[in-house]
Structure 1
Amino acid sequence: MAQEPEEDFEGDGEPEFEAPSGGGKKKLLLFVALPLLLVIGGGAVAYFTGLADPIVAMITGKKPADMSADAGDAGKDKGDAGKDAGKDAGKKKDKDAKGGEAGKPGAAGDANAAVFYDLPEMLVNINTAGHKRSFLKLRVSLELVNEADINTVENVLPRIVDSFQVYLRELRLEDLQGAAGMYRLRAELLMRVNAAVNPAQVKDVLFKEMIVQ
């Protein structure tokens, strides 16, 4: 009786399988990565186009209209902030162009600011040619070129008052009548005060009060 051939199994008897080739691995990665990329890309498109608003509203509890309003308010706030920043920059630029705030040293217009100095009140007799005695009450203010001239005026103040009174005592009532009389009086006082304060300069003599009684 013939013997059946014995089957030869190597190892522990388990069948052997070959590892998948390199092409199989690439296909497996594509099957996993491609759907994931499609999901991510579709979600991004839905979010930016507003298609995902109902889903986001279900999660957050807000309505799509409320979400749009919140986004609009945020954009409006940014726009307002930009406008305010632009206005502040414009104001600062205008301030710098004018030389700073008014009242501070170096500010524009300070160089042309008027300087005034009030002389003491003067009461003198005027010439009436033998008629009833009359008095002239006069208060004037000197307009100076700059504040430094105030010290000069104060140093020669007695001389200024004396020069004014000598001239005023020679006036007659007719000399003080009308606009022409006032103009001549102003010009005469200005000439006399400039002679007294030289080398300083007085720009004008302003009448604050003038009463004849």
Structure 2
Amino acid sequence: MAAEADIEGAGSAKKGIPKLFIIIGAAAVVVLLAGAGLYFFLSSGTAEAEHGAVDAHGVPAVEAPQTFIFNLPPMIVNLNNEADGKAFMRLTVALEVENEAMMIEIQPRVAKVIDAFQVYLRELRRSDLEGSAGVYRLKEELLRRVNVAIYPSRVESILFKELLVQ
């Protein structure tokens, strides 16, 4: 029996040594990874100071160009009749343009822009404007129509200042 106990003790000692190596190796890998992460974290701060601002993905940040806002007068439009009664929309829009010269080019064509908006808006139903998807479609369609009306000039974006549907 004593011989059997010695054999079992020797077997468990042999099993314990590889476990110890695995634990030490895993700890060494964790320490190395932590050190590499710390190195890259600290070195990215110095590169930012040397080469300008960098965003979270390592791409150099580009300064946003200055844009100008061209305000259109508020519009009140009757929406297309539905079964649940009459509805109207009050809409105030601003046009975002690239530069001040573009604002001067748009000024004589404002009547065309408002006309293009009115024709489109009168065909809308209240259900067309429900949810964020409806407002997004409205924004994209107005942007397309304004760019057609003022061609060859171009508007960068449509900004809703007021959008009320009743």
TM class, shorter-chain normalised?
Answer: 0.5 to 0.7
In the alignment, which of 96, 109, 114 is matched to residue 143 of structure 1?
A: 96
Q: Distance in 1 between matches of 2:125 and 2:153?
A: 31
The question of whether the paired residues in 1 share the 8 Å contact of 2:67 and 2:98 is answered with: yes
Shift of 1:110: 10
Aligned to 2:111: 158
Q: Distance in 2 between matches of 1:134 and 1:175?
A: 12
Which deviations, in whole Å up to 9, do the C-alpha atoms of 1:44-102 show, x marking residues without a partner? xxxxxxxxxxxxxxxxxxxxxxxxxxxxxxxxxxxxxxxxxxxxxxxxxxxxxxxxxxx
Which deviations, in whole Å up to 9, do the C-alpha atoms of 1:135-160 show, x marking residues without a partner? 10000100001110111211101000
Shift of 1:184: 0.4
Shift of 1:113: 1.2
How many residues are treated as equivalent by the alignment?
105
In 2 relative to 1, CA 154–110 (structure 1 residues): closer, same or farther, beyond 3 Å? farther
RMSD, aligned CA: 1.8
1:79-94 equivalent positions in 2, closer than 5 A: none
The answer to whether 1:184 aligns with 2:137 is yes
Aligned to 2:4: none
The answer to whether 1:114 aligns with 2:70 is no
The percent of aligned pairs where both chains have the same amino acid is 46
The answer to whether 1:196 aligns with 2:149 is yes
Structure 1: 5+ residue stretches without partners: 1-108
Aligned to 1:134: 87
TM-score normalised per structure 2? 0.60
Aligned to 1:172: 125
Question: What amino acid maps onto 1:157 in structure 2?
Answer: V
Q: Distance in 2 between matches of 1:117 and 1:195?
A: 17
Question: What amino acid maps onto 1:171 in structure 2?
Answer: L
Q: Distance in 1 between matches of 2:91 and 2:159?
A: 11
Question: What amino acid maps onto 1:195 in structure 2?
Answer: V
Q: Distance in 1 between matches of 2:164 and 2:66?
A: 30
The question of whether the paired residues in 1 share the 8 Å contact of 2:147 and 2:154 is answered with: yes
Corresponding residue SS for 1:148: helix
Q: Distance in 2 between matches of 1:128 and 1:111?
A: 43
Q: Distance in 2 between matches of 1:203 and 1:169?
A: 24
Shift of 1:134: 1.0
Q: Distance in 1 between matches of 2:71 and 2:85?
A: 31
Q: Distance in 2 between matches of 1:144 and 1:110?
A: 17
Structure 2: 5+ residue stretches without partners: 1-61
Which deviations, in whole Å up to 9, do the C-alpha atoms of 1:97-137 show, x marking residues without a partner? xxxxxxxxxxxx99921111000100000013254211100
Higher Rg of the two aligned structures:
1
